């Protein structure tokens, strides 16, 4: 998996007290991913499109998170490199690496 680049980060606060930090590789925002024939999902600005950060700012974004949602080659590669996840936790969504981390 690639490293570096920029990422979209959005922080969501749920009514139950969860803090969900959603991060995707910059170029994925507002793309549509085909999951299977006739079924696709959109990588929406509403969920991922908060603000842009570089790799050096990611840890600051993760500090308050109770759930972290990562989508993309680079951001999942970052999490693997930092030891945040194991390779076995990664699934592919339309061929794109995705992982959720619960703290």
Tens digits of residue pLDDT in 40-90: 999 999 999 999 999 999 999 999 999 999 999 999 999 999 999 999 999
For the domain made up of 6-102, give the CATH fold: 3.30.1860
- What are the E-state strand segments in 1-103? 6-13, 19-25, 32-36, 39-42, 51-54, 67-71, 91-93, 96-102
Mean pLDDT of the chain: 95
CA dihedral 51, 56, 60, 61 (to 10 degrees): 30
Indicate the domain borders of the chain.
6-102
Write down the pTM of the prediction: 0.94
Q: How many residues does the chain have?
A: 103
């Amino acid at each position: 998996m690639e490293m570096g680049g920029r990422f979209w980060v959005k922080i969501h606060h749920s009514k139950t007290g969860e803090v969900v930090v959603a991060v995707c590789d910059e170029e994925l925002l507002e793309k549509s991913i085909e999951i299977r024939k006739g079924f696709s999902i959109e990588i929406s600005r509403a969920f991922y499109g908060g603000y842009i950060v570089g790799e050096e700012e990611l840890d600051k974004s993760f500090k308050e998170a109770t759930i972290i949602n990562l989508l993309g080659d680079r951001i999942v590669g970052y999490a693997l490199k930092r030891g945040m996840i194991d390779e076995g936790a990664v699934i592919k969504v339309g061929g794109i690496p995705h992982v959720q981390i619960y703290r």
